[in-house]
Structure 1
Amino acid sequence: MSTLLLTGCSVFGDDAPLPKPTGHAAPSASATPGPVDGSGAAGDTAQPVAAPQAVPAGTVVAETDAVSKSGDTSIHVRVVANDHGTFDAQLSGYRTTQPQPMSVQFRRTAQHGDGGDSEAVATTRWGTDGQPPATVSLADGGPYPDWLHTVVLVPDQSDGDDSDRPWVHKVLAIGKLSWSIPNPDPDLNVTLGKARPGAYGYAFDADDETLRGTDGVPVSYRVNEGDDQSTIAKRFGITVDQLRWLNPTMQTRGNGWVLAGSWINLDPASR
């Protein structure tokens, strides 16, 4: 499912309830929000939103260990709110019995042995004799990066012959991220509106059945040629900011058009 990183100003208020801090750590100044273009196509844009901080700087919002199946390779990951309105991942305790070029990545989903993921965030590499950096910026994940449910270790390519390393670029270790970032809009309600110019695509329910008229609960939408994000949002009774929160990695053209044939999520639980 293609989706879009949050852009623009948040629709959500500053008085959203905050979770009880799980811990504190010194935030890094390395995380600076900036433009992101996951597709690499000219004219496509996706960048973190300039929004109020989801939690106070220094709050630990997720913590896990990414571990290989054998247990021979692992790393500890702690995600901390910084003072830029985004988050940093603090890396520690990296160990392996088979030193090799390695990278850490944050993904929506992953299984051991998975290959590349074009939506992976904060990919950071180090060499055979190196160590991971102490801090990695998650700014590309936006102010609500809790759509990133896993952190993985992936063996990287070396400068020499890798014919004896068929596992290069495949997920070696996985850690599940359980976040304590508050939902910015817990009462978000998506409704089904009629098709219209700029939102002519098909909507689907939880059983993957096509919805007609205005009956049913939409959970996904297939983008039609010429659809734009603002009209799509209006069709489903939400704002553009809410649409972008539901779809944190979707790309749009500079004029707001969404790629025809792509899928849009309308279910907060599937974010």
Structure 2
Amino acid sequence: MSLRVGVVGATGKMGRVVCAQVLEDPALELVAAVARSNAGAPFDTYVGRSTGLPVSDRREALLEARAQVAVDFTHPDAVLANARWYLEHGLHAVVGTTGLGPDDVEALRALAEKNGTNAVVAPDFSFGGAVLLHIARIAARHFPYVELLETHLPSKAEAPSGTTMNTARELAKVRPSPSPVVTSRELAPGVRGGEVAGIRVHSLRLPGPPGIEEIRLARAGELLTISLAAYDRAPFANGAVLAIKAVASRPGLTYGLGPLLDLDGD
């Protein structure tokens, strides 16, 4: 029997790619497509194939369609309320929308445990992103200087990205000490970037690939650069599909894709 899946944010750029992959997977069945606008429109026009589904602007459509898993690729302003709703209404949740802070994640973890529902929450569902973070965690234990550089499209909803925010927080957890003080005086305000968990972050917004993350780590005489470029959204959908299939068997809340890939320490 196929797993019944509803996607919220289904008509967005990421949502459409996830829906297309769900439709192609014989183990999954797309039963609901939810979005903020164009309610009643045939969803076929967004994925270029016959689905028999209308676009709905109601989360209740997930329940009416007897979805087992809700997938959320919406907006940072909406994701927390959405995730709470899924878990409170008996739906397992796969959440790829960025914007959830550490306190939000812990609140969702408690809610999942209370309601007996499961969630996989990841600011980056790409396999490459999970491996990059795993490698960077190892390196950050040995390199005192760490700075992050991320590039996204000008339409990106936030800066820095949720992925980069998470990377900074995760690396800060494993570093033996803060970065040494850099005494350079800024001749233009903000030219040294922002700071997340004590790590400098630089955000570029340019046309090109949807996402590039670069981590630079240094110590006396050495510079280590770890970089990942995503040329389209398919890699993130691949990870989301993996999470959809795994979420029912992972009690409580799983954070990040690393645990699903059996990356040691994740």
- Verify same fold: TM over 0.5: no
Looking at secondary structure, tell me which structure has more helix per residue: 2
With structure 1 as the length reference, what TM-score do the two structures score?
A: 0.27
Larger RCO (CA under 8 A, 6+ residues apart): 1
